[in-house]
Amino acid sequence: MVESDDIGKSLNREAGAGEVVGGEAAQALRAILQTQYLRYVIIGTWALGLLTSVGFTIAALWFVGTVAAGALRGAVERHISDRVGAGWGLVFPAVATATTAAWAAAPLLAWYSGHPFGHALAATLLVCGYMLVFSQLRASPWQALVISSPYSAAAGIILISMWGGPLFWPFLSILPLTASGLVVLVMMTLLREERIRAFQAHQSHLIDELEAARDKANAASDAKTNFLGVVSHELRTPMNGVLGAAQLLGSTRLETTQREYLSVIRNSGDNLLSLLNDILDMTKIEAGKMTFETVDVSIEDLHKRVTGPFQAQAEAKGLNFNAQFEGDIPAVVRGDPLRVCQVIHNLLSNAVKFTDKGEVSMLARGERLENGRVRLDFAVTDSGAGIAADDLARLFQPFTQVDVSSTRRFGGTGLGLTIARRMANIMGGDINVVSTLGEGSTFTFSIEADVVEWTRQPAAEPIHADIGDGRPLSVLLVEDHPVNRMILQAWLGSAGHVSATAENGQTGIEAAGEQRFDLIIMDVNMPVMDGLTATRAIRDGEGPNHDTPIVVLSASARREDHLAGLDAGADAYLNKPIDFGALAKVMNRVSGGRAGVRALVDAGETASAA
C-alpha cells in the first residue's frame, strides 16, 4: 500500500494530542489522491509475483479484490479530504487498516500455495508490506503499527501453522531483522524531522530579528530625514540674510570690480543652497526615492552657472581657465539643471582643487541624435598630478581618496565623485575618466536629453521690482527672523511701498484685523503660531483682509509643502532665499485681487511662485 508522510504526521498529532490542523491533513489527503495511481502499479507487481506460485485464477481474484479495495479507499479519501478537521480524522486509519487486509492476503496465499517458491515469496511480500507502510508513515510510527496490523496477523497465522516444525525458527528470525530495519528508518526520519524543526525555529528567529532590524533602520532613516530637514531650514534662514543683503547691495551704485565680486558672492551662495538641497537628496538616493525635475534648460545659462564660480577660483590660484563649446549644441533642452550643475560642479571643484599649476578647461560637446535628442559630453580637463591606473578602480568608491595625504592637505569626505556618478546614473548618464600620471586627468560627464530649441532665442527682458501702475502698496510682513524682516522692509521701501511687520502668526492675525492691506507676506515656520494656521484664521474670519492676497514664504522646496500652503488659503508660494523678481511679479498682480495672483501661479510664469 502507498501512504503519505504528511498525512501520517497530521493524523498522529490528532490522535495523540487533538491538535491537528484540518487544512494540513486535507492537503496531505489531496497529495495521496494525486499519486494514487502508484497504488495500482504496486498491486499489479504483487499480482505478477502471486501468478508464479498460486496460478492465474487466484492471482486474478486477489488483484480484482485488492483493486476494488483501493478504489473504495480512494473514494473515502476524496470524501474526507476537506473534513479531516471536523471529526473525520480517525476514518482514514480505519479505512487504511481494512484495505491493508486485502494486501495481507497475498503472503498467506503464497505461503499455502504448495509451490516451492511460495514460502520465500510470502516472506518477501510481508517484508515489502511493512516497508511500504513504514516508509510512508515513518514520522508516525504508531499509525504505521495500526495500519500494518493485518501483516502482523498474517505473520502470526504463518508462525502458528509452523509451530514445532523445522521452519518455525528461521521464519521467526525474519521478524527482528525486519523490525530493526523499520526502527532505523523511523529513527532517522525522526532525527531529520527534529533537525528540520530546529532549522525552521532558527529561521523564524532570524526573520524576527531581521524584521526588528528593518523597523529600527526605518525609524533611524525617518529620524535622519527629519533632522536633515530641520538643519536645512536653519541653514537656509541665515543664507536668506546673506543673499538678500547681496541683492540689496546690487541695487546700489557699485564699481565694475565690486559688481563682479558681488556676482561671485551670489553665485557661490546659490551653489551653497544647492548643496543644502543635496544633503536631503542623499537620503533619497540611499532609499531609491530621489525625484528629478524636467524643465527647459538653456545651455548657455547652464554653462555660465557652472563655470562662473570656478573661473574666479582658478584665477586666484594662478591657473588658466578655459571653457568652450564644440559640435551641435542646442539652445534649450529638457532636463534637471540643478542635478546637472551639481555633477559638473563636483568635477570642476576637484579639477581646481588638485591642480597647482597649468590650466583647467571645460569642453561642452554636443552630438545630434535621432528623434529630437542630443548627447551632451561635459569634459573637465586639468593639468594636475594625474591618477595611477591602479587607483582608477577605487576612484568612485565612497569615502575614498586617491592619496591618503590629500585628506590632510585638501580635506573632504571622499563622497563627491560617488554622489556625482550615482546622480549621473539616475539621469541615464555616466562619468568616465582618462588620466595619465604626471600629466593630468579628464573627467567626462555624458548624458542624453530631449531638444526644445536648436537655435538661441533673444534674451528675455529683465524683470524689474517696480509696480506697473506706480502706486505704492500697503504690505503686512509676518516674519519671525529680524534679518529677513529688515531685508524685506528695505526692499519694499526702496520700491516705494509701505510695510507693517509682525513677529509671529498670532500678532499677524491681530495686525490684519486692525487695517486693510493690499498684500500679506506670511512666513510658514514661526513660534507661537505658524503661518499656515494664521492664513487659515484670516481666511475664516470676517476681518478687512479676508480676501487680501497672501504669499507664504518657506525654506522648504518640496511640492507637497507648496500644495499645503495653497490649501491653507494662500495665493502664491515663494521659496527662501526670496527672488525679488518673482515677488515683484506677484505684487504686479495684486491689483487683480486673489484671482490675479492665482492666475500667475496657475500659468506657471515663475518657478518660485508655484
3-class SS letters over 300-323: HHHHHHHHHHHHHHHHHCCCEEEE
Q: By the 8 A CB rule, do 81 and 57 touch?
A: no
Q: How confident is the model at residue 366 (pLDDT cuts 50, 70, 90)?
A: very high
**Mind listing the pLDDT tens digit for each residue in 564-606?**
888 888 888 888 888 787 888 888 888 888 888 888 777 665 4
Whose cell is 526615492? That residue is: 289
Is the confidence at residue 45, as pLDDT, over 80?
A: yes
pLDDT of the residue at 31: 46
H or E stretch covering 327:
strand 320-327
Strand blocks (E) in 387-514: 430-436, 440-453, 474-478, 498-502
**Mind listing the pLDDT tens digit for each residue in 111-156?**
888 888 888 888 888 888 888 887 777 667 777 788 888 988 888 8
pLDDT of the residue at 449: 92
Q: By the 8 A CB rule, do 472 and 420 touch?
A: no
Question: Most confidently modeled of 174-178, 201-205, 254-258?
Answer: 201-205
Return mean pLDDT, the chain.
79
pLDDT of the residue at 5: 39
Residues 6+ apart with CB under 8 A from 170: none
Q: How confident is the model at residue 237 (pLDDT cuts 50, 70, 90)?
A: confident
Is the confidence at residue 423, as pLDDT, over 70?
A: yes
Compute CA 328 distance to the chain's CA centroid, rounded to the nearest angstrom: 39
Mean pLDDT of the 481-504 span: 87
pLDDT of the residue at 374: 93
Whether the full predicted model's pTM is greater than 0.75, yes or no, is no
Q: By the 8 A CB rule, do 475 and 492 touch?
A: yes
- 502: β partners: 478
Whose cell is 523499520? That residue is: 182
Distance CA 549, CA 531 (A): 14
pLDDT of the residue at 8: 40
pLDDT of the residue at 549: 92
Mean pLDDT of the 211-227 span: 81
Q: By the 8 A CB rule, do 590 and 549 touch?
A: yes
Q: By the 8 A CB rule, do 147 and 97 touch?
A: yes
Largest CA distance in the chain: 133
The closest of 572, 563, 562, 520 to 541, measured between CA atoms, is: 520
Mean pLDDT of the 441-447 span: 92
pLDDT of the residue at 244: 83
Distances in Å between the Cα of 355 and the Cα atoms of 305, 309, 359, 383, 419 are 21, 16, 8, 6, 22
Mean pLDDT of the 38-64 span: 86
Is the confidence at residue 222, as pLDDT, over 90?
A: no
Supply 467's cell numbers: 509696480
Supply 234's cell numbers: 536653519
Supply 26's cell numbers: 486535507
Is the confidence at residue 398, as pLDDT, over 50?
A: yes
pLDDT of the residue at 390: 75
Residues 6+ apart with CB under 8 A from 325: 303, 363, 364, 365, 366
- Contacts of 30-34 spanning 24+ positions with Cβ under 8 A: 30/81, 31/4, 31/6, 31/7, 32/2, 32/3, 32/4, 32/7, 32/77, 33/74, 33/77, 33/78, 33/81
Reported as half-sphere exposure (CB side, CA atoms, 13 A), residue 571 has a value of: 25
Mean pLDDT of the 215-235 span: 74
Q: How confident is the model at residue 2 (pLDDT cuts 50, 70, 90)?
A: very low
pLDDT of the residue at 393: 72
- Contacts of 576-579 spanning 24+ positions with Cβ under 8 A: 576/236, 576/237, 576/239, 576/240, 576/484, 577/236, 577/239, 577/240, 577/242, 577/243, 577/244, 577/269, 577/273, 578/240, 578/244, 578/488, 578/553, 578/608, 579/606, 579/608
Supply 46's cell numbers: 504483487
Mean pLDDT of the 296-306 span: 87
Name residue 568's amino acid. Answer: A
Distance CA 125, CA 239 (A): 93
Question: Most confidently modeled of 255-269, 270-284, 594-608?
Answer: 255-269
pLDDT of the residue at 403: 54
